[in-house]
Amino acid sequence: MRTILPFLLLAASVLRADTVSDLRAALASLDGSEPVRARVETGSVQREGESAKDGAAASSAVAALVEDGPQGMTITWSRALVDTAAGELQAKSKDPNKSTPTRNSMDDLKPSSLGDYLNASAKVLRILDMGKLVDEKETTREGQPARLLAFQLTPPLAERDKKIIKEAEMTARLWLGADGLPVAAETEFHAKGRAMLVISFETTEKEELRFAEAGRRLVVTRYLHETQSSGGGQSGIRKSLVTLQVLGP
C-alpha cells in the first residue's frame, strides 16, 4: 500500500495538469476571426444605507446592439435611452440625492466590459493563471455531462490594498462541456480589513457566467455579478445581470 499510494497521487497530479493543458489548448483554438453581432441587455439593483436589505432600491434595465470584428467594436444605443440618461444627470445636478439608475446600468456595458463578454477566453485564462486546481470530477450541468474543475485563487491585491486587507480568499469553479470548452463558471471573493485603523469592513463579491461558442470565440451569454459590503455602520448590496443574444450576420 505504501508503494501504490505515491503512484496514485502522482497519477492524479498528472491528470489534473493534463486537464488544464487541454483547456488551454481548446481556448487557443478559438482565434476570434469572425465578426459577432449581439444584443446585450443589463439590469441592476442597488441598495445602500444602515441596513441595505431594508433600504430603498434603485433599479434600471438597458440594452445595446454590439458588433465586434477585425475593424473594431461598435456600440449602438437608442436615442430614447441616451436622452433618459442625460435627464437623470440633469436632475442629479439640481438634487444630489437623485439616483441615476439608467446611467449606472449603461456604465455596466462600457467597451472594456463588452470586450470581455465577446472574448471570454481571457477571463478563463486569468482563472487558470491565478489559480491552483484543487479538485475535478465528472458531473452534469443543465442535464448535460460536464467536468467540474475547482480552483483556489490568489487574489490580485494592489500594494495599498494589502495594507488594509487582513484576510482575503478567492475561489473559482469551471464546468467544461464534451468539447472541452467552458460552459459555465463561478468565482467568489471575500475580504475583511480595517481602514484608518478604526473602521472595520467586510466585502463579498460573486460572479456567475455562462458561455457559448460564436464566431470562433468564447462569448458570455449570461453574467450575474453581486457585491455585498459593510463598514462604518453602513452597508451596500448591488446586483447586476447581463444577458447576451448572438444575432445573425
For residue 158, pLDDT over 60 is answered with yes
Classify the C-alpha dihedral 163-164-166-167 as positive or negative: negative
> Does the structure show a pLDDT above 90 at 133?
yes
Beta-carbon-side half-sphere exposure of residue 220 (alpha carbons within 13 Å)? 28
Mean pLDDT of the chain: 86
Please name the residue that has the C-alpha cell 448591488. Answer: 238
Determine the pLDDT at residue 5: 47
pLDDT of residue 17: 55
Provide the domain count of the chain: 1
Residue 2: the pLDDT is 45
| Prediction pTM value | 0.81
Cα(12)–Cα(9) distance, integer angstroms: 5
d(CA 182, CA 171): 16
Is the per-residue pLDDT at 83 higher than 90?
yes
Checking if the pLDDT of 7 tops 50, the result is: no
136 pLDDT more than 60: yes
Structural domain of 219: 4-247
Mean pLDDT of 69-88: 94
Query: In which band, very low, low, confident or very high, does the pLDDT at 1 lie, cut at 50, 70 and 90?
Result: very low
pLDDT at 14 over 50: no
